[in-house]
Structure 1
Amino acid sequence: MNEITSFHDPAVRNLAWLLFSPDLLSVSRAGAPLARPAATESEGAATLVWLDALDRDPAALHAQVHKPSLTRLGFYAEALLEYFLMRGPHARLIAANIPLRTAERTLGEVDFLLENVRGERLHWELAVKFYLHIGEGEGAATLAHYVGPNLQDRFDLKHARLLNHQLGLSARDEFASLGFEGPWRAELFVKGRLFYRDDGHDYRSRASNLPPELAGDHLRGWWKTASEWRDSKADGLFASLPRLGWMAERTLSAQEGDALVEQTAMLSERVATLSSPIMVARYERYDGYDRATGNVWREHSRGFIVPDEWPARAADFAG
């Protein structure tokens, strides 16, 4: 992940995370081809060079993604990826967010149409998801055991909609009538992080009983109830993360690190009356001081703190 955290600008770092972080879904068991924004070693190298230049002058990226309307994480991620496809080194954006309608109703919206350097015409459906695993370990887990923190989304339902509805939009007769000449190769672009209950075992290495659809190297985090977090946090230093900060990890400068004690105290007060899950990062000082930026704190882990009653409600939601 060093190719992600080395960038200083938050928007550039989030774009690098979209392009280079592990997929949530397995290449062989996802049910559809997976998008490859940097499909070869040379494309990956060219992308990193391009991102490095963008990091030095991110004004054009900021103009596209720092808009009042982009308050939802999914819209923000789409804006980042659209910028890459418009300005990046090896793809040509043909269209983005194309609504497909009939006289009676809206059928859906195609996220991205593009042509890569090999001349392949691709349809990408983007999803950036953060699910908590709920289940007590008997038998193999399924995607239904992964639920959104606010219990309004579930991985199996999202996966099924992507496969059975979204990816098929570009192959419909109604879509051909819009003038986008195909055929289009439909691919899944699914990134995010999955969070496992912190029960004293190493959640990062959890590999048994995983659904076959999941990539073995998917990003992992932990979750605890408010009571569990209060009992275990000890002298740890934490900061809550705004929703648009859920993607890329970051390091903190010495000045930012000085505020962690106060942020942890504020977080403790918030958790005392917690009504909905919050994502937090735990930070620790590290030896690799960066003279250029003054970064001396690194992110140790990501997690969700949930209300004490949340696990029971989540178990019902998981079915």
Structure 2
Amino acid sequence: MMEKALLHQFSGFLNTPQIWEMAGPFPYSPFEVRNIDLQKMPVELHFPPTMVLGKRMERFFHFYVRHFSEEKIIAHNEQIIHEKRTLGELDFLLKNERSGKVSHVELVYKYYLYDPEIASEAERWTGPNHRDNLLLKLERLQQKQFPLLYREETRPLLEKLGITAEEVEQKICFKANFFLPWDHPSQRIDLPNDLVQGRWLRRKEFTPARFGRETFFSPRKPNWPILPQHNTHWLSYDDLQEQIMPLLEKEQSPLIWMKTGNEYRRFFLVWW
């Protein structure tokens, strides 16, 4: 039987919505990931417990495509190198086993927090540590990652696979979790409700007067996709503070699960 935490992580990956509505005039088709019955897994999924979140999501996508789709993986994580310099990486090249059509799929799995204090509306969806944002990621996809397929340096790989760039359809699987400020009205933001996964607040706002009676848990990053109702070990406010303070001091924003009676919430406590 697959380890429970891993199964919950995989379920979290599958159920994280795609951001297609937010991508604007994006010239690539979405690669759809459908829900599956996890009780009927054909094989077990294994990988090292130390694998970071991004690589973990790549492994989940690989597993999904191989066992639950009509696509065959003909290449993945292919680095394109020219004169000892890495130009970029193609995430997945897939071939439909029925139609024979080939697609290039870029996989993205992200967490974004809406910061109304950022001057430019387009840049307000920022990473939990304020080091990246949604706009930059979309620009990088359009300007670097997708054009990589058509570069002369990529041709030897395509020739080895017996395909040409012109016959390849480019697709994206962009799964993202969006978090609003704790007291910010959601109707003020043009965002589909199913994309909102939780809230965020600053360290100074996380006071014992406001939150001292609740119970919490701060999962390790590989467990961020898991729903909090699967958690069985809960901490007091003081015990949580002891757990998360080292992270905040290192300018890392922890994700926190909160339990109030039979209700569960997810939020980020940010250092900035």
State how far apart, in whole Å, the 1-side matches of 2:85 and 2:179 are: 37
| CA separation of 1:237 and 1:34: change in aligned 2, threshold 3 A | farther
The secondary structure found in structure 2 opposite 1:152 is coil
Match of 1:155 in 2: 134
Q: Secondary structure at the match of 2:206?
A: helix
- Give how far 1:241 is off: 1.5
- Length-normalised TM-score, structure 1: 0.71
Deviation at 1:73, TM superposition (A): 1.1
The answer to whether residue 240 in structure 2 is matched with residue 267 in structure 1 is yes
Q: 1:48 aligns with which of 33, 36, 47?
A: 36
1:242 shift after superposition: 0.8
**Residue in 1 that maps onto 2:21:** 26
- Report the Cα distance in structure 2 between the residues aligned to 1:105 and 1:161, rounded to whole angstroms: 18
Q: Assess if the C-alpha contact under 8 Å between 1:27 and 1:33 holds in 2.
A: no
Deviations 1:213-246 (A, max 9, x none): x656323321111221114214222110211011
Task: Measure, in 1, the Cα distance between the counterparts of 2:214 and 2:49.
Answer: 34
Change in Cα spacing, 1:281 to 1:250, as seen in structure 2 (3 Å) is closer
Q: Give the one of 185, 194, 202 matched to 1:217.
A: 194
**Residue 248 (structure 1) shift:** 3.0
Aligned length, in residue pairs: 261
Asked if 1:248 is matched to 2:248, the reply is no
Q: State the AA in 1 paired with 2:206.
A: W
Which residue identity is paired with 1:260?
W
Q: How many angstroms does 1:110 deviate by?
A: 0.3
Match of 1:289 in 2: none
Deviation of the 1:88 alpha carbon: 2.7
**Secondary structure of 1:81's match?**
helix
DSSP 3-state at the match of 1:260: coil
CA separation of 1:223 and 1:186: change in aligned 2, threshold 3 A: same
Distance 1:215 1:188 in 2: 19
Show the 5 A alignment for 1:148-297: 148-178=127-157, 179-180=160-161, 181-182=163-164, 183-199=167-183, 201-202=184-185, 206-210=186-190, 217-230=194-207, 231-252=209-230, 256=232, 259-262=233-236, 264-270=237-243, 274-275=248-249, 276=251, 277-286=253-262
Alignment TM-score, normalising by the size of structure 2? 0.82
CA distance in 1, matches of 2:193, 2:142: 20
CA shift for structure 1 position 187: 1.5
Q: CA deviation at 1:188?
A: 1.8
Match of 1:291 in 2: none
Tell me which residue corresponds to 2:121. 141
Residue 29 of structure 1: SS of its match in structure 2?
coil
Deviations 1:70-123 (A, max 9, x none): 2x2111111111122223343211111001112252110100111235433111
1:243, 1:95 → 2: CA distance?
Answer: 27
1:35: Cα distance to partner? 2.9
Query: Does the 8 A contact of 1:129 with 1:192 survive in 2?
Result: yes
Taking the TM superposition and a 5 Å limit, the aligned residue runs for 1:104-119 are: 105-116=85-96, 117-119=98-100
Of all paired residues, the percent bearing the same amino acid is 23
Shift of 1:67: 5.0
RMSD: 2.9
- Partner AA of 1:186 in structure 2: Q
Distance in 1 (CA, whole Å) between partners of 2:147 and 2:54 is 20
Q: Distance in 2 between matches of 1:124 and 1:157?
A: 19
CA distance, structure 2, for counterparts of residue 219 and residue 8 of structure 1: 28
CA distance in 2, matches of 1:302, 1:270: 17
Q: Distance in 1 between the 2:116 and 2:177 partners?
A: 17
Residues 58-69 of structure 1 correspond to what in structure 2 (within 5 A)? 60-62=44-46, 65-68=47-50
With over 3 angstroms needed to count, the CA separation of the structure-2 counterparts of 1:207 and 1:164, relative to structure 1, is: farther
